[in-house]
Amino acid sequence: MRIRSDITLHRRAELVLFRVDECTYLVELRFWSVILVTVQIDRIRLVTVPVELSAPLRTSDGIHKSREATLIEITDSQGYVGWGENVAPTGVHYVGESHQDSVQTMRDQFIPLLVSREVAVEEMDRNGWWGTEAFNFAKHALESAVWDLHARKENTSLKNILGGQLDSIVVGVVVGMSDTIDEVVAECVQRRNEGYRRIKIKISPGHDIEVVRQVRAVLGDEYLLQVDANGAYTVEHIEHLNQLDAFNVQFIEQPFAHDDIDSHIALARQGRVRVCMDESISSRKDLEQMLDLGACSVVNIKPSRVGGIGEAVAMHNIVRARGVDAWVGGMLETGIGRASCLAVASLPGFTMTPDLSASRRYFARDITDPFEMHDGEIRVPKGPGIGVVPAPDILASDAIRIETVFER
Ligand code: MG
């Protein structure tokens, strides 16, 4: 028997013609066949934009007054353009990846890999696609630009492609550390009056219980309040941290170092304050492991930290299936990164308020049209792709640097 394989599959094709000897057969497939749409990349540019924060943000790893936004612009052979953003923090090593190292890795390692392949974005989250487990921020920056391009080609929003359900999202805001408790309290009141319905306070040893006590006193018992330690505590602080239970704190985020799993398990098992993990979970493998160990009952999923939108969606599917509370964290993204985070945050398994505040919370002027908050909510962009692009006058500004890294 000879079988000729002149079979054309269309996206979601159900019928296939094939020929055996002189007879033609029409066969109904019993499964859905999906051909992955591939992207052929013609040009990649790195666009570096200096942005001033609207107010300094002090966390346990330093004071942040400004940052350099690194945008990635990918153009395909049909002229479609996708935008991504590398949000690896400037000046600090965040779980081993500084902004400088991250951008260099994109330029020297990942972009040559990307342009050597026909790219199907759905495959990019697979283990091994990038050839390394490191440099998640760099992977995410490029992958998110391909997602934007992919959705624009399909003429639909990233939210729709990912299966997002919310058109508008209740968002939270982070209040950093200050020199005095009064300053923290004043900022919390200001943010609540701006319309935020949830506040997360940064804490560290010496700047914790009394701060939370005073903030809770002015915000009232029902207001949603969380704390984030960015790994500033050690196992000796467990009893101290349990005092937070008296102030109806929704959870404590990343109390211990990212690799101090035993202390997280110890705190989580005492059951008085819920434990959320951020820096400890960088992949779906980490996620499954931490949940199996009982190290946390809430998860902060940042698409940039976990290496891409695809990985974030896969992790969302895990927490949803296991009934675990989760939310989308932010990394001081400009409008480019914020737009794609909002699309991810619109997925139904994200049960808690994300750290995705309005543009004015972060920047004197955003790179895109600003994201505004109304009644405590921000709308998820509806336009094709991520629904926003950098403002033309910003792209034309003398202050930015544009580097063509690849051109076919
Ligand atoms: Mg955090």
182-241 pLDDT, tens per residue?
Answer: 999 999 999 999 999 999 999 999 999 999 999 999 999 999 999 999 999 999 999 999
| 3-state secondary structure (DSSP) of residue 93 | coil
Per DSSP, the three-state class of 338 is: helix
- pLDDT for the residue 89: 83
Q: With a cut of 90, say whether residue 36 has pLDDT above it.
A: no
Find out whether 19 and 54 touch, Cβ atoms under 8 Å. Answer: no
Phi-psi bin for 287: left (phi > 0), alpha (psi -120 to 50), beta? alpha
Choose among 85, 69, 77, 53: nearest CA to 386.
85
In whole angstroms, what is the distance from residue 189 CA to residue 175 CA? 10
C-alpha–C-alpha distance, residues 110 and 308, integer Å: 13
pLDDT of residue 2: 34
Mean of all residue pLDDT scores within the chain: 89
The one-letter amino acid code at 320 reads R
125 C-alpha to center of ligand 1: Å?
23
Block residue for tokens 């540019």: 45
Helix (H) or strand (E) run with residue 39 in it: strand 38-39
Q: Which domains does the chain have, with CATH numbers?
A: 2-34 (no CATH), 44-155+392-407 (3.30.390.10), 160-379 (3.20.20.120)
Is 200 a catalytic site residue? no
Q: Using one digit for the tens of pLDDT, what is the confidence trace for 253-269?
A: 999 999 999 999 999 99
Q: Which of 200, 285, 302, 382 is catalytic?
A: 302
DSSP 72: E
CA of 7 to the centre of ligand 1 (A): 51
Average pLDDT, integer, range 362-367: 94
Taking alpha carbons only, the member of 270, 328, 333 closest to residue 298 is: 328
pTM as predicted: 0.89
**DSSP character at residue 381:** P
Q: How far is the CA of 86 from the centre of ligand 1 (A)?
A: 18
- Residue 150 confidence (pLDDT) above 50: yes
How far is residue 286's CA from residue 277's CA, in Å, rounded to a whole number? Answer: 11
C-alpha span between 124 and 130 (Å, rounded): 8
pLDDT, tens digit (0-9, with 9 covering 90-100), for 19-35:
545 555 555 444 444 45
What's the CA-to-centroid distance between 280 and ligand 1, angstroms? 10
Which of 139, 159, 200, 202 is catalytic? The answer is 202
Q: How far is the CA of 171 from the centre of ligand 1 (A)?
A: 15
Q: Which of 53-62, 199-208, 245-254 has the lowest mean pLDDT?
A: 53-62
278 C-alpha to ligand 1 centroid (Å): 5
Query: Smallest Cα–Cα separation from 201: which of 226, 182, 178?
Result: 226
CA dist., res. 197 & res. 357, Å (int): 11
Separation of CA 279 and ligand 1 centre (Å): 7
Tokens of 230: 């960015």
